[in-house]
Amino acid sequence: MATDDDIVIKVRGLENGFGDQTVHKGLDLDVRRGEIIGVVGGSGTGKSVLMRAIIGLQHPRAGSIEVFGQEVSQLGPEDAKDLRRRWGVLFQDGALFSSLTVAENIEVPMREFLALPQALMDEIAGYKVSMTGLPAEAGPKYPSELSGGMRKRAGLARALALDPQLLFLDEPTAGLDPISAAAFDELIKVLKQTLGLTVFLITHDLDTLHAICDRVAVLADGKVLATGTITELKRFDHPWITEYFSGPRGRAALGEETKKAA
């Protein structure tokens, strides 16, 4: 069992809901330092709500959420700002500011938190553009001029602007073609290795799960049903999990893996 020091996100007894509808009840989750955790679950099981609760966009009804050992709901404005500087978030469609260019979007967090000379910010934004696999001429473009995949990359570059230790990704490969999706997976893996990132990844993409996730957390019935490596989860006896990993798509993605291992 990991010690508390190694746990970056610790969720206990979380309860979330809208009106009469309860999304989470008694949800527990640990995310360890330096791992990529994949969060899966059927539509409507509250994967995005869980992410929003952790990053403080959704106020939970009950329960505690600790990030880097600090209780998120108890923080004062200054501490909350400091905490936000340590994580980066990639929303589903990039959520780029549409009135700013890609380069300006990447520089927004730097401008907000640090007083750096413009030339230096340009240099940093420049290598982030290249690191996230955007073409060199993408800097002056506006988000509406980019394709979906490029918007995601630009969103990732903005999420990485302050060199966060923790990265939240909401369906990063949804809507990308398989080649771009594989390249995105590879990119996240490389960034994780070089930057030592902890990654909280929501996905439907079985290939992504197999390719980059260290552990997978399955959300169902308002809680985390099981966490573990894919091999561990396959032995878990629950209809949704069995169906998920042993259905035709699950087998196809996993078949690859076994062949590679053999």
Partner 1 sequence: MTDTASLVEDSSAEGRTLRASGRLTIVHLGEIDAARAAITPDARPLTIDVSGVERIDTTGAWVIHKLVRDFDAAGSKAVIAGATPDVQRLIDEVSANDKPCTMRPERGSATMRRLETIGAATVHNAENVGTFLAFLGQTLVVLFETVIGRRPLRWNAVVHQCEQIGVNALGIVGLLLFLVGMVVAQQGAVQLREFGAEVFVVNLIGRSTARELGILLTAIMVAGRSSSAFAAQIGSMKLNQEVDAMQIIGMSPIEVLVIPRVLAMALMLLLLGFFGSLMAIIGGGLYCWMALDLPPVAYVQRIREVVPLSDLIIGTVKAPVFGMIIAMMGCFQGMQVTGNAESVGARTTRAVVESIFVVIVLDAFFAVFFSALGFK
| Strand-strand pairing, 36-41 and 215-220 | parallel
Binding status of residue 157 toward partner 1 by CB under 8 A: no
Binding status of residue 143 toward partner 1 by CB under 8 A: yes
> Crossing angle, helix 248-261 and helix 239-246, to 10 degrees?
60
Rule CB under 8 A: choose which of 129, 176, 209, 218 binds partner 1: 129
Distance from C-alpha of 190 to C-alpha of 184, rounded to nearest angstrom: 10
Amino acid 95 reads: A
The answer to whether the CB of 163 falls within 8 A of the CB of 50 is: no
182-211 binders of partner 1 (CB under 8 A): 190, 193-196
Binding status of residue 69 toward partner 1 by CB under 8 A: no
Binding status of residue 1 toward partner 1 by CB under 8 A: no
Distance from C-alpha of 208 to C-alpha of 172, rounded to nearest angstrom: 9
Rule CB under 8 A: choose which of 38, 60, 63, 139 binds partner 1: 139
The answer to whether the CB of 48 falls within 8 A of the CB of 223 is: no
Number of residues that bind partner 1 (CB under 8 A): 34
86-125 binders of partner 1 (CB under 8 A): 98-99, 101, 103, 110, 114-117, 120, 122-125
Distance from C-alpha of 229 to C-alpha of 236, rounded to nearest angstrom: 11
Binding status of residue 72 toward partner 1 by CB under 8 A: no
- Minimum distance of partner 1 from residue 157's CB (angstroms): 11
Distance from C-alpha of 233 to C-alpha of 236, rounded to nearest angstrom: 5
**Strand, helix or coil at 68?**
coil
The secondary structure element, H or E, covering residue 40 is: strand 36-41
Rule CB under 8 A: choose which of 26, 126, 148, 175 binds partner 1: 126
Instruction: Decide whether 7 or 197 has the Cβ nearer to partner 1.
Output: 197
- Minimum distance of partner 1 from residue 31's CB (angstroms): 20
Residues that bind partner 1 (CB under 8 A): 98-99, 101, 103, 110, 114-117, 120, 122-131, 136-137, 139-140, 143-144, 160, 162-163, 190, 193-196
